[in-house]
Amino acid sequence: MLSTVENTAVRACVAGGRHLRERFGGETDADFTRHDVKAAADRASEERMLSVIRDSHPDHAVYAEESGDVSTDGDLRWIVDPLDGTNNFVSGLPSFATAAAVLDDDGPVVGSVYVPVSDDLYVAHRGEGTRHDGEAVSAASDVPTEKATVGFVIGHDVKLDGRMAEANEMQAALGDATKRVVESWSPCVHWGALARGKLDGMVCFHPDDEEQHVGELLAEEAGAAVARPADGTYVAATSESVRDDLVTSIS
């Protein structure tokens, strides 16, 4: 059953991602606000992803970022992000992805991320590890904290409800502890890099579900050291020592 679900997640992400790759760099059709941007490409990618999912699993619950709850009944629930990194996409920056996570009562069980421009495909399956382009990967690395590059993720609500000052303090503290902090506008791309040991850590402050479920699965199945030091805060790193230093820096 879950192997079929995994196959569907991959096909959905690739279907949406290939459409994004075709549109990338072309004329932009988007609506901009102070804190967000919505592109026609989001909706077009989502339509393609949902078509794959509904055709294969009409009995599953599905939530998609643009459409909301498409269906609510089913033992398994899909969370679909048709364009993670919309701001990058419309700005001509190639860091964006499609993502799908499938949850059961215990959390994410299958996840897939596809990065169209670099043609990177990530798949994670609970208890079976994380794969990149079909090969098992590991998040392990011996890079020390002071030489680490860390991604920092905040959810959309943080920008709207007065918590940006706290987020800025957290980011500054991470900058003091590490070599570089990347403010992630495409978390799924960075989750994939962490799963391969290319990025040394991820720190999330009240992140959005559309990226977080699949990101946690990719990281944990790749063996990342993780912690939840406070409500709404998640830390993953390529070693326990880096994880502990990151937690200390933001506490």
- Say if residue 14 is in the same domain as residue 112: yes
137 assigned to some structural domain: no
Please report the pLDDT score of residue 25 as a whole number.
Answer: 82
Residues of each annotated binding site for Mg(2+) = 65, 81, 83-84
Q: Are residues 35 and 96 in the same domain?
A: yes
Q: Report yes or no on 37 lying in a domain.
A: yes
- pLDDT: which is higher, 25 or 112: 112
Mark whether 86 and 170 lie in a shared domain.
no
- Give the whole-angstrom CA distance, residue 177 versus residue 9: 37
Q: Based on the domain organization, do 56 and 105 belong to the same domain?
A: yes
Same domain, 110 and 12: yes
Strand partners, 203: 152, 235
Domain assignment present for residue 132? The answer is no
**Model-level pTM?**
0.94
First to last CA, the chain: 42
The residue segments making up the domain with residue 88 are 2-126
Of 202, 244, 184, 194, nearest to 223 by C-alpha is 194
Per DSSP, which regions of the chain are E strands?
30-32, 37-39, 61-64, 68-71, 77-84, 97-104, 107-115, 120-125, 129-132, 135-136, 149-154, 180-183, 201-205, 225-230, 233-237
Phi/psi region, residue 92 (left: phi>0; alpha: psi -120 to 50; beta: rest), is left
Q: What is the DSSP letter of 137?
A: -
For residues 2 and 7, give the distance between their C-alpha atoms in angstroms, rounded to a whole number.
8
Bridge partners of 135, per DSSP, are 132
Q: Are 8 and 62 in contact (CB under 8 A)?
A: no
CB atoms under 10 Å from CB of 115, counted, come to: 26
Q: Are residues 153 and 114 in the same domain?
A: no
Which of 94, 126, 158 is a domain's end point?
126
pLDDT tier, 67 (very low <50, low <70, confident <90, very high otherwise): confident
Binding residues: 65, 81, 83-84
- Looking at the fold, whether 16 and 105 belong to one and the same domain comes out as yes
* Same domain as 59, residue 12: yes
121 plus 62 within the same structural domain? yes
Mean pLDDT computed over 53-73: 93
- Kindly state whether residues 166 and 193 are assigned to the same domain: yes
pLDDT, tens digit (0-9, with 9 covering 90-100), for 187-216: 999 999 999 999 999 999 999 999 999 999
Boundary-marking domain end, from 126, 161, 178: 126
Of 222, 84, 45, the residue nearest 141 (C-alpha) = 222
**CATH number for the domain that contains residue 165:** 3.40.190.80
Q: Is 71 among the domain residues?
A: yes
Joined tokens for residue 186? 């495409």
Percent of the chain with pLDDT over 70: 94
Indicate whether 215 belongs to any domain: yes
Total domain count, the chain: 2
pLDDT of residue 38 exceeding 90: no
- Residue 18: CATH number of its domain: 3.30.540.10
Domain identity same for 196 and 90: no
pLDDT, tens digit (0-9, with 9 covering 90-100), for 125-183? 999 999 999 999 999 999 999 999 999 999 989 988 889 999 999 999 999 999 999 99
Give the domain-ending residue among 96, 126, 156: 126
Q: 9 and 122 in one domain?
A: yes
For residue 139, being part of any structural domain is answered with no
